[in-house]
């Protein structure tokens, strides 16, 4: 009995110290990492066959953050984040008319079209550094539970760090969507390889801004916390400098886990 009493007393003291430590925490510093599920939306000011039809892809997302507790239920978080953006298209699609195909049209006294068509895979890989300021609302499950639910949202400023268009596959090239005019067959060039990586950073604006937010669940410990969250971000600016390839917005869903430690 004496042994059991000592164990119970030790647990009571430990819980008391834990509560005291949690109450003394005024700031958190932490990291989070996970997946970005981006997609390029073509609801910009210019929409055409080149910038539409993208679907979601998957890339990395990770961040470091500083969180200042204003109260037990409200805090402000400054976050520096690496965010993979972009999208992918597969199958029969438009591409800018290659310069080497221009003589095919001019020889027939036809204007060179802006696009031709082929069957290939295309992926836009665009990466940003984002600095965000998030307002965070915390909701404990109950007064005794170490678990809490939170919602956070706020603006971000983004800096483009890299951008590539990666294509792959082999296909004939057609002058029309209906595949009635096979240019590579008529000119006896045969199917063309689309295996290529093009740096498109200079074609895009270097900066962007938008909004992002998360909802998550945190496990609060004596002087630290672990959490899992899901959310997303959306850029307000069209990313292309010119209009030949249309206009797109960046945006991504995110799923992350993280860890933070408290400081007074």
> How is residue 28 annotated by DSSP?
E
- 26-263: in CATH 1.10.1740.10: no
Task: Record the pTM.
Answer: 0.83
Write the CA distances from 71 to 174, 215, 223, 242, 259, integer angstroms: 63, 19, 16, 47, 20
Tens of pLDDT, residue by residue, the chain (264 residues): 444 444 444 433 444 444 444 456 689 999 999 999 999 988 656 778 888 889 999 999 999 999 999 988 999 999 999 999 999 999 999 999 999 999 999 999 999 999 999 999 999 999 999 999 999 999 998 878 899 999 999 999 999 999 999 999 999 999 999 999 999 999 999 999 999 999 999 999 999 999 999 999 999 998 999 999 999 999 999 999 988 778 899 999 999 999 999 988
pLDDT, residue 260, reads: 97
HSE-up of residue 262 (Cα within 13 Å, Cβ side): 17
Answer yes or no: are the C-beta atoms of 260 and 224 closer than 8 Å: yes
DSSP letters spanning 179-194 = S--BHHHHTT---EE-
- Positive or negative torsion for Cα 195, 198, 204, 208: positive
Task: Please give the radius of gyration of the chain, using alpha carbons only, rounded to the nearest integer.
Answer: 26
- Token pair recorded at residue 185: 């067959």
pLDDT, residue 206, reads: 97
pLDDT, residue 120, reads: 97
Q: Alpha helix (H) ranges present in 25-152? A: 102-106
Of 62, 43, 228, nearest in space to 130 by CA: 62
pLDDT in tens, 201-256: 999 999 999 999 999 999 999 899 999 999 999 999 999 998 877 889 999 999 99
Write the CA distances from 72 to 67, 86, 137, 151, 219, integer angstroms: 12, 38, 9, 14, 15
Task: State the Cα–Cα distance between residues 234 and 158, nearest whole angstrom.
Answer: 11
Task: State the Cα–Cα distance between residues 118 and 94, nearest whole angstrom.
Answer: 7
């Amino acid at each position: 009995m004496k042994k059991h009493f000592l164990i119970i007393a030790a647990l009571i003291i430990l819980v008391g110290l834990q509560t005291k430590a949690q109450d003394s925490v005024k700031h958190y510093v932490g990291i989070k990492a996970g997946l970005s599920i981006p997609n390029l939306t073509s609801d910009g000011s210019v929409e055409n066959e080149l910038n539409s039809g993208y679907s979601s892809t998957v890339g990395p997302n990770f961040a470091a953050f500083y969180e200042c507790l204003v109260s037990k239920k409200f805090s402000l978080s400054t976050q520096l984040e690496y965010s993979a953006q972009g999208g992918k298209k597969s199958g029969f699609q438009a591409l800018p008319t290659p310069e080497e195909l221009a003589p095919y049209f001019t020889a027939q006294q036809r204007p060179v079209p802006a696009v031709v068509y082929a069957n290939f895979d295309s992926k836009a890989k665009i990466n940003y550094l984002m600095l965000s300021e998030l307002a965070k609302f915390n909701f404990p499950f109950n007064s005794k539970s170490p678990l809490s639910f939170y919602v956070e949202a706020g603006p971000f400023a983004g800096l483009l760090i890299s951008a590539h268009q990666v294509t792959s596959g082999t296909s004939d090239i057609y002058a029309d969507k209906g595949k009635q005019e096979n240019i590579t067959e008529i000119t006896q060039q045969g199917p063309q390889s689309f295996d290529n990586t093009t740096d498109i950073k200079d074609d895009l604006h270097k900066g962007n801004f938008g909004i992002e937010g998360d909802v998550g669940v945190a496990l609060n410990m004596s002087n630290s916390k672990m959490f899992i969250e899901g959310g997303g971000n959306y850029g307000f600016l069209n990313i292309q400098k010119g209009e030949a390839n249309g206009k797109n917005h960046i945006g991504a869903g995110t799923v992350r886990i993280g860890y933070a430690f408290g400081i007074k």
